[in-house]
Amino acid sequence: MKTKYAYFFLLPTILLLSVFYFLPTIQVFYFSLLDYNVFGENEFNGLSNYLRLFNDPNFWYAILNSGIFILVTPILMFLSLMLALVVRETSSTIKLFRSIFFLPVVTPIVIVGIIWRYIFSEDIGLMNYLLSLFSFSSVPWLTEYPTNLFSIMIVTVWRGFGYYMMIFLAGLAVIPKELEEASRIDGAGRIHRVFYIIVPMLKPTLILIFVLSSTAAIKIFTELYIMIPGTPDSNKTLVYFMYKQAFENFDFGYGSAAGVIIFILTMGFSYINIKLMEER
Amino acid sequence: MRKIILFSVILLISFLFVSCSKKEDKKIIEFWTLQLSPTFDKYFNELIDKYEKDHPAFDIVWIDIPYDAAIQKLLASAAAGNAPDVVNLSSDFLAKFAGMNALADLSEFMPNDSFNIFLPNALDNCIYNKKIVGLPWYLNTYVLIYNKDFFKNAGLTQADIPRTFSELVDITKKYKDNSGKYALFWNIGKDSYLPMMLGSEGVEMTDSLMTKAMFNSSEGIAFIDKWVQLYKDGYLQSESIIKPGSTIIEAYQSGQVAMVFTGPVFLRRVKDNALSIYSNTDVAPAVVGKTGKHELAAMSISVMNSSQHKKEAVDFAFYVTNSENQIAFSKIETTYPSTIVALNDPFFTIDDGTLETKARIIGAKELFDAVRLRKYLEHPQFDKLRDAFDEAIQKACLGKVTTKEALDEAADKWNKILAHPNPSQRDGL
């Protein structure tokens, strides 16, 4: 009897997920097998879109760039863990810093992109101005590859560390204080406590952040769209490649094929997470 | 509990019936425009009211959409089966949708002489594969907007105002050498203006049948190389190779550059955002190449092939683009009408001494020499052609290859695309 009511209450969520998630996913798989024409008849062309994809140098560049982008993951994990360790105290000053560190997370991404585009502007931007004060020459933050990719990574780290810091704080909150106290009494220094007590206890949190951060890195788009839209296609990542094929070139079948590949890659990372959890 | 659930379901179903009830038996024509609201709200409301009074069987539903989201909204509506009947398109959008056979051939609905009211070069902008897929609406052309003060401070005079692209190259160098600042912002990488400059210089991008790229001729290479060298020698902003043309006016109104080459309509933006820059601004005729021709920027109105009321939609499109309505439109914002009669209105010839009028008069005269220089827009894969060219210029500017190597590589890509318009027949592009 109670189970019947449970399904009734789950129904709206299942309907929403089906309409806005599962069905579109199945549609994308289907569209990837078509020469899709919004204004006319579609033509089934089997795996042609995938063959084109594997022969497209820009697709492989996109995979390479997405792979490079995953480098933000260890940087983010390290930075946000360190910050979480600093702000885990409960004083009002520390609480203020927590809010400050979280501000980039809640700032709209488009605003972030526009402001950082000006900061990285090679002729009038703050970064090159600061470099000039120390007699360094200008850096082509936005125009040259792969420097422009690293500029986007800086923005991603800046925007993301507050978010992962909060997740780490939640993880740190469940570590028994007695463990740390005991290790301090036994003579363990701060660094030893972090690496031998805290980090092992944070393993589930670390895995979660690794998966979240790496899948977000694969799916990076808005920052590139705002900051370096005019750079060559070989400078872009997978989701940008997919967007361009579908919404700029109107090649929806081809874009859908790219979408399927992105889906497979992100599923791969989720699978790694499941395997790591099983080992635990 | 059961009674409450039953009552809620009955209420929901009855709401659905009410909302789906039959409306009045009027034909609805949906009309989409690009980013004209709220400036033109009063104009369109009056225009539509008048049309509906004269055509009581019709309801015109006007929807204004943001320019940046236009493609996505149009595609989404087309995929959902509720695309508009009449739609305002820019040159690039028109080319794209024409290539996808999304637009009706208007000559099937109106006699040929109906189109004679338009400027021939403007109407030419709307002809793709011999079909008239749109009516030219409001036009824009290019003028040189420059800061008199900056020029004076750099030791330059009125006589130094460039008229040709060669003079523009020289003055760009002279200005920076004298002042240490950039003379102009010129997008040569993304959505590059270079193809239009080549066209104005008399260098064709392709042969007449669009089967072979021709921009890598010795003349084309020599011309492009001047601009590549300007960039490499630091006379153009670093981001000239990645910023699109839509950001041109930002550089001018923020005082970064002394001149820009853009439409007179942007003077209003300078006036609103940077009054001090505006007060030192003057305008000059467009910079042109050897042919004296320059690019015509045309907005058009098209009828979608999916429209259920094509004949009526075409009639409405002609109504919106008639001379009377176009003159009224141009008086609100500095644009130009596309009909010959409207362009001869005193509004475009009488100078009242203001900067905007001066720009308007200069632009109006230039319209007769403005043409679609980017003929490759007719190709269904024109965006890939454009990308291949832009990326070649970017490579050359960054010193990865010489200008000749870059243009030869781009020409190879163009030849592949031109030989196989269908992407699935072609590798990698």
What is the C-alpha to C-alpha distance for residues A252 and A242, in angstroms, rounded to an integer? 9
Q: Do B102 and A39 touch (CB under 8 A)?
A: yes
What is the C-alpha to C-alpha distance for residues B92 and B242, in angstroms, rounded to an integer? 19
Q: Do B101 and A249 touch (CB under 8 A)?
A: no
Asked if the interface predicted TM-score (ipTM) of this complex is over 0.90, the answer is no
**B75 touching A (Cβ < 8 Å):** yes
Q: Looking at chain B, which residue has its C-alpha nearest residue A253?
A: B424
What is the model's pLDDT at position B81? 87
Which residues in chain B are contacts of A230 at CB distance < 8 A?
189-191, 239, 241-244, 390
pLDDT in tens, B153-182: 999 998 999 999 999 999 999 999 999 999
Tokens of B315: 């009639």
Tokens of B88: 């305002």
Which residues in chain A are contacts of B385 at CB distance < 8 A?
none
**B413 touching A (Cβ < 8 Å):** no
Contact B370, B121 (CB under 8 A): yes
Superfamily of domain B27-140+296-364: Periplasmic binding protein-like II (3.40.190.10)
pTM, 2 dp: 0.86
Contact B118, B250 (CB under 8 A): no
How far is residue B419 from each of residues A250, B70, B426, measured CA to CA in Å? Answer: 20, 30, 9
pLDDT in tens, B188-210: 888 888 999 999 999 999 998 88
- Least Cα separation, residue A122 to chain B (angstroms): 6
- Least Cα separation, residue A143 to chain B (angstroms): 7
* Among the listed residues A116, A149, A118, the one whose alpha carbon sits nearest the alpha carbon of residue A220: A149
Q: Is B7 left (phi over 0), alpha (psi -120 to 50) or beta?
A: alpha
Q: Is the confidence at residue B18, as pLDDT, over 90?
A: no
> Over chain B, what HEC string results?
CHHHHHHHHHHHHHHHHHHCCCCCCCEEEEEEEECCCCCCHHHHHHHHHHHHHHCCCEEEEEEEECCCCHHHHHHHHHHCCCCCCEEEECHHHHHHHHHCCCECCHHHCCCHHHHHHECHHHHHCCEECCEECCEEEEEECCEEEEEHHHHHHCCCCHHHCCCEHHHHHHHHHHHHHHHCCEEECCCCCCCCCHHHHHHHHCCCCECCCCCCECCCCHHHHHHHHHHHHHHHCCCCCHHHHCCCHHHHHHHHHCCCEEEEEECCCHHHHHHHHCHHHHHCEEEECCCECCCCCEECEEEEEEEECCCCCHHHHHHHHHHHCCHHHHHHHHHHCCCECCEHHHHCCHHHCCCCCCHHHHHHHHHHHHHHHEECCCHHHHCCCHHHHHHHHHHHHHHHHCCCCCHHHHHHHHHHHHHHHHHCCCHHHCCCC
Cβ contacts of residue A238 below 8 Å, gap of 6+?
A: A62, A63, A65, A66, A218, A219, A258, A261, A262, A265
Nearest to B101 among A40, A230, A234 (CB): A40
CATH T-level fold of A52-279: MetI-like fold (1.10.3720)
What is the C-alpha to C-alpha distance for residues A193 and A183, in angstroms, rounded to an integer? 7
* Among the listed residues B294, B261, B257, B278, the one whose alpha carbon sits nearest the alpha carbon of residue B372: B294
pLDDT in tens, B241-294: 998 877 888 899 999 999 998 888 888 889 999 999 999 999 999 999 999 988
Size of interface A-B (CB pairs under 8 A): 85
Q: Do B238 and A228 touch (CB under 8 A)?
A: no
DSSP at A134: T
Q: Which amino acid is at A181?
A: E
Q: Do B423 and A251 touch (CB under 8 A)?
A: yes
Q: Do A142 and B182 touch (CB under 8 A)?
A: no
**A49 touching B (Cβ < 8 Å):** yes
In the sheet where B135-140 sits, what is the strand order?
B58-65, B27-34, B86-89, B297-303, B135-140
Can you give the pLDDT of all 280 residues of chain A as single tens digits? 567 788 888 899 999 999 999 999 999 999 999 999 888 788 899 999 999 999 999 999 999 999 999 999 999 999 999 999 988 877 788 888 889 999 999 999 999 999 999 999 999 899 999 999 999 999 999 999 999 999 999 999 999 999 999 999 999 998 888 888 888 888 888 888 888 888 888 988 998 898 889 889 989 999 999 999 889 999 999 999 999 999 888 889 999 999 999 999 988 877 877 787 666 5
pLDDT in tens, B26-49: 889 999 999 999 989 999 999 999
What is the model's pLDDT at position B284? 94
**A123 touching B (Cβ < 8 Å):** yes
What is the model's pLDDT at position B412? 96
Q: Which of residues 190-209 of B touch A (CB under 8 A)?
A: 190-191
What is the C-alpha to C-alpha distance for residues A135 and A220, in angstroms, rounded to an integer? 34
- Least Cα separation, residue A104 to chain B (angstroms): 25
Q: Do B242 and A143 touch (CB under 8 A)?
A: yes
- Least Cα separation, residue B410 to chain A (angstroms): 13
Q: Do B78 and A122 touch (CB under 8 A)?
A: no
Contact A203, B164 (CB under 8 A): no
Contact A224, A240 (CB under 8 A): yes
Q: Is the confidence at residue B425, as pLDDT, over 60?
A: no
User: Is the domain B143-295+379-425 a CATH 3.40.190.10 member?
Assistant: yes
What is the model's pLDDT at position B427? 44
Q: Is the confidence at residue B184, as pLDDT, over 60?
A: yes
Nearest to A231 among B78, B242, B427 (CB): B242
Q: Looking at chain B, which residue has its C-alpha nearest residue A226?
A: B243
Q: Which of residues 237-266 of B touch A (CB under 8 A)?
A: 237-239, 241-244, 256
Tokens of A250: 């109107």
Q: Do B424 and A52 touch (CB under 8 A)?
A: yes
CATH 3.40.190.10 in chain B: give the residue spans: 27-140+296-364, 143-295+379-425
Q: Do A124 and B239 touch (CB under 8 A)?
A: no
What is the model's pLDDT at position A126? 95
Q: Which amino acid is at B163?
A: R
What is the model's pLDDT at position A76? 93
Q: Which of residues 160-219 of A touch B (CB under 8 A)?
A: none
Pairing mode, strands B297-303 and B58-65 = unpaired
pLDDT in tens, B86-135: 999 998 889 889 988 899 999 999 998 999 999 999 999 999 988 999 99
Contact B245, B263 (CB under 8 A): no
Which residues in chain B are contacts of A229 at CB distance < 8 A?
190, 242, 244
Which of B93, B239, B389, B401 to substitute to test the interface with A, most A CBs within 10 Å?
A: B239
Contact A192, A183 (CB under 8 A): yes
Looking at chain A, list the stretches that DSSP marks H as alpha helix, in order from N- to C-terminal side: 2-17, 23-31, 48-54, 57-69, 72-87, 92-106, 109-119, 126-133, 147-173, 177-185, 190-193, 199-201, 203-218, 222-227, 238-243, 252-279
- Least Cα separation, residue B75 to chain A (angstroms): 7
Q: Do A35 and B424 touch (CB under 8 A)?
A: yes
Residue B428: band (very low, low, confident or very high) from pLDDT cuts 50, 70, 90: very low
Nearest to A55 among B189, B256, B428 (CB): B428
- Least Cα separation, residue A39 to chain B (angstroms): 6
What does the domain layout of chain A look like in residue ranges? 52-279
What is the C-alpha to C-alpha distance for residues B157 and B21, in angstroms, rounded to an integer? 71
Q: Do B101 and A39 touch (CB under 8 A)?
A: yes
Q: Looking at chain B, which residue has its C-alpha nearest residue A142?
A: B239
Please tell me which residue, B304 or B12, carries the higher pLDDT value: B304
Tokens of B295: 């690019």
What is the model's pLDDT at position B21? 47
**A45 touching B (Cβ < 8 Å):** yes
Residue B429: band (very low, low, confident or very high) from pLDDT cuts 50, 70, 90: very low
pLDDT in tens, B136-151: 999 988 899 999 999 9
Q: Is the confidence at residue B20, as pLDDT, over 80?
A: no
Secondary structure of residue A116 in the 3-state scheme: helix
Please tell me which residue, B427 or B51, carries the higher pLDDT value: B51
- Least Cα separation, residue A84 to chain B (angstroms): 38
Backbone φ and ψ of A225, nearest 5°: -65, -35
**B189 touching A (Cβ < 8 Å):** yes
**A38 touching B (Cβ < 8 Å):** yes
Secondary structure of residue A202 in the 3-state scheme: coil
**A122 touching B (Cβ < 8 Å):** yes
DSSP at A137: P
What is the C-alpha to C-alpha distance for residues A278 and A217, in angstroms, rounded to an integer? 24
**A57 touching B (Cβ < 8 Å):** yes
Q: Looking at chain A, which residue has its C-alpha nearest residue B400?
A: A144
Which of B75, B89, B242, B427 to substitute to test the interface with A, most A CBs within 10 Å?
A: B242
Which residues in chain A are contacts of B425 at CB distance < 8 A?
none
CB burial class (10 A; 0-12, 13-18, 19+) of residue A16? Answer: exposed
